[in-house]
Amino acid sequence: MLSFNLSPIFKARGIDKPHAYLVKAGISPHSAQDILNSQSRTLRLDHLELLCRILVCEPNDILVYREDATHKIAEDHPLNNLKQTETDKSLKETITTIPYKQLKELTKQINQTEVENK
């Protein structure tokens, strides 16, 4: 079953009030609540595009696939690429525990990528 996987993105972006953030971006309060609770049974492409624009991500970052016991798929099925991989550390925790030398190198790489993408 496909569902939204927004919590890690909100955490990484430092968004403390996701509902207010989505409503301010133009999603109705009811739709925002459904999206945040993964209760939305339909996917509006304009909402998906808006989410990608405001969260600076792509649809594969937003959607997650959870296998349903009644609908098994083959191990090599493309939907398996959307299975969520759990990480032990949050982004903030990773940044605060990485050695300073590596953090400087990572920052340099990020800055280079930003320049290349402009």
Residues 45 and 76 in one domain: yes
Query: With a threshold of 0.75, does the pTM exceed it?
Result: no
Residues 65 and 115 in one domain: no
Domain of residue 56: give its range: 2-85
pLDDT at site 87: 58
Residues 50 and 16 in one domain: yes
What are the phi and psi torsion angles at 115 (to 5°)?
Answer: -65, -40
* pLDDT < 50 positions in the chain: none
Residues 51 and 98 in one domain: no
pLDDT at site 71: 85
Q: State whether residue 68 is helix, strand or coil.
A: strand
Residues 7 and 65 in one domain: yes
Q: What does the CA dihedral 108, 109, 111, 114 come to, rounded to 10 degrees?
A: 170
Total number of domains constituting the chain: 2
pLDDT at site 27: 94
Q: How far apart are CA 40 and CA 90, in angstroms?
A: 26
Are 29 and 19 spatial neighbours (Cβ–Cβ below 8 Å)?
yes
